[in-house]
């Protein structure tokens, strides 16, 4: 079934195949192999290519590969990583293995890695690179260019150049493009943008990433609490964070803990664990539906037809709620909606809910009338109207409330909304039924 | 409620406020104002700042703003946009307005815009910039640098430099960093990477974006079917596409049509429209649940207690299905899972489903026994086991099947899985009940 681009049986063919392909292609295909095959192919790579491929691999795959290599190779590969990528890899590893690896690095790389590891896991400091090129405002363009050439081999980027004063405080940012267009004797201080945005190392990664994206920047300087420059976040790392955050949101919207690793490198047990807690919590919440129904057991017994519409009604209510919940989760994530917009959101979503409820209620009347008679049709239509209105409103408010109390809005999304709406929906359904069917 | 950073009552204060703030901040805050206020603040900006802010705004907000400005200002702003951003703006507009705007551009900008508009909407060609710096392999580094300096003011990026032959076919890519580190007399042809990845203009945007991200590139060359260079996709545009695609996925997972615009610039009617079609489709699908239940109406009438557990069982089944569906949608979107992995996915998810089903089934036994007696407890536990197993499998397969038949996997996600699982779950529940309760 799996079309394998490598001939794993014939070492000579395999050797030729990996030699022909570029690092990007190899990294992608390696991600799709089983661990032993991945190690087999990787060991055939020439040293430089091995490093290039290794850098492009996911941290989970990197860790796995290292386990199958000789110590010397391991240290070489880890030493060759950018400090921020190295930190991501170390985060994947058991603490003891990580310590051993760290100890094997050169003092310079060790120092830089330790600095990054000092920042908390979701902070901007954790993903910044400490290998940047720092300019001084008093430098001339030709001095700056000479200095950039000298530092380029170790710096992660030379296209965005932070400028600092004598106390190493950030005073501006200049782009390489501006230097290239300026005269040799111009001063960096006159070319730089003194108002350029920066971010504090202890701020949330996501804030940094959104800023990079909103401002179309290639990198953003990271400073400490005294505005001293400590690093630079580059756009490639920002993109990775963006993808990871999206995966997290999507997992939570689907009612599971984020895996944080590629699907196939997560074991069955881990998959079960990431799902079972949520399921249990949701089941506990759903016990309310059993309670509500048991209150109305007599009504149910008398008019069993009412039971026929329970799944349809709850399903529709759940869908309305899920729609507005996911809309809101997304709008909050992108910053389109903020907490301050609460009232505007309530107004809009109430109106949307009313319109959806009216439409669906009216459309349901005729078919249910034909199927189950007029009284039941009226109960169903009125319930659809009420449930759609309520669940749209609930769906939009729960993520906002979650954000308000400091919980990831995605957590308060579809599955919880559905469970909540189920209980409310049943209550509404039977209350309306009791009134209309005159119990 | 909304904390407004601008004093809209006092024009003089407002003027000072906008003069102090940088373009990124202004663009962000403008996005949160109501349309008339947005126009009021924007009109106070100095010409250069207005252009910078305008470029950073969302296309929907750009369009709205243009409607409130004088023609001359409109043409200036649109002329100042990069061709790819301009195309995004034109896409937002009614055709007649777009034509009028296009006609008002300088011939050069008009030509470039028309080229991009010629590519289909989801294609790589649509988001590429035609304003790049093209080098020749025979150029020396100093010739190349002189040429780059000359072209820099109009090019969207000078950091990634495609190299073409006499027929304008792409033969390699060189980074500005490599040129800076090379000797003046080195030739571009010896520095470039001849195996650098490129993408065809008619390929899907998402493919380009994933490649940029996977390979940590700042830009990727776009070629036509004869490998002639036609443009460059830069990382800032890739990030925008990434965010848009994520919003789309999330909306579909939540069971609504993607809005494609910031939440507050979508009218109530558009919001309703984006949701109502899906709801109707899902209601039609949910009619099966009514059918299934009406088959078992006699059983229900005899043992009304069975009805009490319907919402809880369906809810749990739906959650299991939603979990694996969203996991799979994400894994497909990031390329972690491909169609060829179908069998492996079936194997893993069956096992996960079995484990989840066993856990939840066993855990439910005691409480339901206490609440409703032994026979019902056995029915509920067995149903939970079967439904969890089935729905996990269904949830993982539907997105894969959708991809197989060329539909966006996100469409076949949570809401459809839930509806499908509801029908199957009811059938399972009553069949098990009939056997155990001996009807």
How far, in Å, CA of B35 to CA of A280, rounded? 46
How far, in Å, CA of B394 to CA of B322, rounded? 10
Structure tokens, B437: 């309760």
**CB contact residues (below 8 A), chain A span 94-133, against chain B:** none
* Mean pLDDT confidence for B66-94: 85
Structure tokens, A238: 């920002």
Say what the pLDDT of residue A1 is: 38
Say what the pLDDT of residue A281 is: 84
How far, in Å, CA of B263 to CA of A7, rounded? 50
Give the strand pairing for B170-175 and A229-234: unpaired
Length of chain A: 439
Q: Is the dihedral of CA B424, B429, B432, B434 positive or negative?
A: negative
pLDDT above 90 covers a percentage of chain A that reads 32
* Mean pLDDT confidence for A313-332: 88
Residue that wins the pLDDT comparison between B104 and B230: B230
Say what the pLDDT of residue B2 is: 44
Could B304 and A301 be called an inter-chain contact, meaning their C-beta atoms sit closer than 8 Å?
yes
**CB contact residues (below 8 A), chain A span 28-87, against chain B:** 28, 31-32, 55-56
* Mean pLDDT confidence for B333-342: 83
Could A251 and B300 be called an inter-chain contact, meaning their C-beta atoms sit closer than 8 Å?
no
A197 contact residues in B (CB cutoff 8 A)? 22, 24
What one-character-per-residue DSSP string does A190-239 give? HHSBTT---EETTSBHHHHHHHHHHTT-SEEEEE-TT-BEEEEEEHHHHH
CB atoms near residue A242 (< 10 Å): 22
B216 contact residues in A (CB cutoff 8 A)? 55-56, 236
Say what the pLDDT of residue A59 is: 84
B341 contact residues in A (CB cutoff 8 A)? 1-2, 32, 264
- Nearest by CB to residue B308, choosing from A256, A294, A348, is A294
pLDDT higher than threshold 80 for residue B201: yes
- Nearest by CB to residue B250, choosing from A2, A253, A304, is A253
* Mean pLDDT confidence for B331-336: 82
How far, in Å, CA of B80 to CA of B64, rounded? 17
**CB contact residues (below 8 A), chain B span 270-309, against chain A:** 271-272, 275-276, 278-280, 282-283, 286-287, 289-290, 293-294, 297, 300-301, 304-305, 307-309
CB atoms near residue A146 (< 10 Å): 12
How far, in Å, CA of B357 to CA of B349, rounded? 12
Could A322 and B363 be called an inter-chain contact, meaning their C-beta atoms sit closer than 8 Å?
no
Structure tokens, B145: 């640098």
* Mean pLDDT confidence for A27-50: 86
- Give the pLDDT confidence of B29-43 residue by residue, as tens digits: 888 888 888 888 888
Say what the pLDDT of residue B412 is: 66
What backbone phi and psi angles, to 5 degrees, belong to A344? Answer: -60, -40
What's the pLDDT band for A161 if we cut at 50, 70, 90?
A: very high
What's the pLDDT band for A416 if we cut at 50, 70, 90?
A: confident
Q: Which residue has the tokens 């006159």?
A: A190
Structure tokens, B391: 């729905």
Say what the pLDDT of residue A199 is: 93
- Give the pLDDT confidence of B410-425 residue by residue, as tens digits: 776 677 888 888 889 9
B280 contact residues in A (CB cutoff 8 A)? 360, 363
Cα distances (angstroms) measured from residue A109 to each of A79, A80, A81, A82, B330: 7, 9, 9, 9, 35
pLDDT higher than threshold 60 for residue B323: yes
Nearest CA in chain B to A155: B177
Min distance A111 CA to chain B CA atoms (Å): 25
How far, in Å, CA of A420 to CA of A398, rounded? 10
**3-state SS, one letter per residue, for B50-87:** HHHHHHHCCHHHHHHHHCCCCHHHHHHHHHHCCHHHHH
How far, in Å, CA of B329 to CA of B339, rounded? 12
Say what the pLDDT of residue B191 is: 95
Min distance A402 CA to chain B CA atoms (Å): 18
Min distance A10 CA to chain B CA atoms (Å): 22
Give the strand pairing for A160-164 and A170-175: antiparallel
Min distance A213 CA to chain B CA atoms (Å): 7
- Nearest by CB to residue A22, choosing from B195, B217, B243, is B195
Cα distances (angstroms) measured from residue A347 to each of A396, B36, B264, B294: 11, 19, 12, 39
Q: How many residue contacts between A and B have a Cβ separation below 8 Å?
A: 352
- Give the pLDDT confidence of B236-254 residue by residue, as tens digits: 888 888 888 888 888 887 7
Say what the pLDDT of residue B1 is: 38
How far is C-alpha A345 from the chain's CA centre? 24
3-state DSSP assignment of residue B217: coil
A24 contact residues in B (CB cutoff 8 A)? 197, 211, 214-215
Closest CA to B320 of A290, A310, A283: A283
- Nearest by CB to residue B236, choosing from A159, A216, A246, is A216
How far, in Å, CA of A355 to CA of A138, rounded? 64
Q: Which residue has the tokens 């400028």?
A: A163
Cα distances (angstroms) measured from residue A168 to each of A163, A187, A224, A231: 9, 18, 11, 12
Residue A221's DSSP bridge partners are A232
B218 contact residues in A (CB cutoff 8 A)? 159, 218, 235
Say what the pLDDT of residue A136 is: 95
- Give the pLDDT confidence of A83-113 residue by residue, as tens digits: 888 888 888 788 888 888 888 888 888 888 8
Could B272 and A356 be called an inter-chain contact, meaning their C-beta atoms sit closer than 8 Å?
yes
pLDDT higher than threshold 70 for residue A329: yes
Q: Which residue has the tokens 């947005």?
A: B38
Could B263 and A32 be called an inter-chain contact, meaning their C-beta atoms sit closer than 8 Å?
no
Say what the pLDDT of residue A3 is: 54
Could B242 and A239 be called an inter-chain contact, meaning their C-beta atoms sit closer than 8 Å?
yes
How far, in Å, CA of A281 to CA of A256, rounded? 11
B422 contact residues in A (CB cutoff 8 A)? 311, 315
How far, in Å, CA of B394 to CA of A121, rounded? 36
pLDDT higher than threshold 60 for residue B409: yes
Query: Whole-number mean pLDDT of chain B?
Result: 87
Say whether residue A318 is in contact with chain B using an 8 A CB cutoff.
yes
How far, in Å, CA of B265 to CA of B288, rounded? 37
What's the pLDDT band for A412 if we cut at 50, 70, 90?
A: low
Helix (H) or strand (E) holding B173: strand B170-175
Check: CB of residue A272 under 8 Å from CB of residue B354: no
What one-character-per-residue DSSP string does A121-179 give? TTBHHHH-BS----B-TT-BHHHHHHHHHHHTTT-S-SSEEEEE-TT-BEEEEEEHHHH
How far, in Å, CA of A6 to CA of A29, rounded? 9
Check: CB of residue A180 under 8 Å from CB of residue B148: yes
Rounded (to 5) percent helix, strand, coil in chain B: 65, 10, 25
Q: What is the dihedral of CA B382, B385, B391, B396, to 10 degrees?
A: -160
Give the strand pairing for A170-175 and A199-200: unpaired
Could B341 and A371 be called an inter-chain contact, meaning their C-beta atoms sit closer than 8 Å?
no
Say what the pLDDT of residue A2 is: 45
Say what the pLDDT of residue B381 is: 95
- Give the pLDDT confidence of A332-387 residue by residue, as tens digits: 887 888 888 888 888 999 999 999 999 999 999 999 999 888 999 999 999 999 99
* Mean pLDDT confidence for A172-196: 93
Could B32 and A240 be called an inter-chain contact, meaning their C-beta atoms sit closer than 8 Å?
no
Residue that wins the pLDDT comparison between B95 and A232: A232
The residues near B279 (Cβ < 8 Å, ≥ 6 apart) are: A316, A319, A320, A323, A356, A360, A388, B255
Query: Whole-number mean pLDDT of chain A?
Result: 87
Residue A199's DSSP bridge partners are A222
How far, in Å, CA of B87 to CA of B129, rounded? 10
Closest CA to A284 of B292, B364, B310: B364
Check: CB of residue B59 under 8 Å from CB of residue B89: yes
- Nearest by CB to residue A326, choosing from B3, B145, B253, is B253
């Amino acid at each position: 079934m799996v079309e394998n681009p490598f001939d794993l049986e014939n070492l000579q063919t395999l050797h030729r195949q990996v030699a022909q392909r570029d690092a990007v292609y190899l990294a992608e295909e390696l991600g799709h192999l089983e661990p032993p095959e991945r190690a087999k192919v990787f060991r055939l790579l020439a040293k430089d290519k091995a490093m290039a491929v290794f850098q492009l691999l996911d941290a989970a795959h990197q860790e796995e590969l290292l386990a199958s290599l000789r110590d010397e190779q391991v240290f070489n590969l880890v030493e060759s990583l950018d400090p921020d990528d190295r930190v991501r890899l170390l985060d994947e590893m058991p603490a003891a293995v990580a310590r051993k690896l760290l100890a094997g690095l050169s003092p310079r790389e060790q120092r830089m890695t330790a600095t990054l590891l000092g920042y908390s896991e979701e902070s901007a400091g954790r993903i910044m690179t400490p290998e940047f090129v720092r300019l001084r405002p008093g430098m001339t363009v030709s001095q700056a260019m000479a200095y950039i050439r000298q530092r380029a081999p170790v710096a992660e980027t030379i296209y965005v150049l932070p400028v600092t004063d004598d106390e190493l405080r950030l005073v501006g940012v200049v782009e390489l493009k501006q230097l290239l267009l300026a005269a040799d004797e111009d001063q960096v201080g006159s070319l730089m943008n003194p108002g350029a945005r920066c971010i504090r190392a202890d701020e949330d990664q996501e804030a940094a990433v959104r800023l990079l994206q909103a401002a179309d920047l290639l990198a953003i300087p990271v400073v400490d609490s005294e505005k001293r420059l400590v690093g630079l976040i580059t756009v490639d790392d920002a993109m990775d964070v963006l993808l990871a955050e999206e995966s997290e949101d999507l997992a939570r919207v689907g009612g599971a803990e984020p895996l944080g690793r590629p699907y196939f490198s997560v074991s069955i047990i881990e998959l079960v664990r990431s799902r079972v807690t949520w399921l249990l919590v949701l089941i506990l919440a759903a016990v309310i539906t059993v309670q509500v129904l048991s209150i109305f057991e007599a009504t149910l017994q008398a008019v069993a037809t009412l039971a026929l519409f329970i799944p349809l009604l709850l399903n529709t209510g759940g869908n309305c709620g899920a729609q507005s919940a996911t809309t809101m989760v997304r709008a909050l994530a992108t910053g389109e909606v903020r907490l301050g917009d609460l009232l505007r959101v309530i107004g809009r979503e109430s109106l949307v809910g009313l319109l959806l409820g009216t439409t669906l209620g009216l459309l349901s009347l005729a078919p249910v009338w034909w199927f189950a008679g007029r009284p039941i049709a009226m109960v169903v239509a009125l319930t659809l109207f009420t449930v759609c209105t309520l669940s749209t409103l609930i769906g939009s408010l729960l993520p906002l409330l979650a954000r308000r109390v400091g919980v990831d809005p995605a957590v308060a999304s579809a599955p919880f909304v559905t469970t909540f709406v189920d209980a409310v929906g049943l209550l509404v359904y039977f209350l309306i039924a009791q009134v209309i069917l005159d119990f």
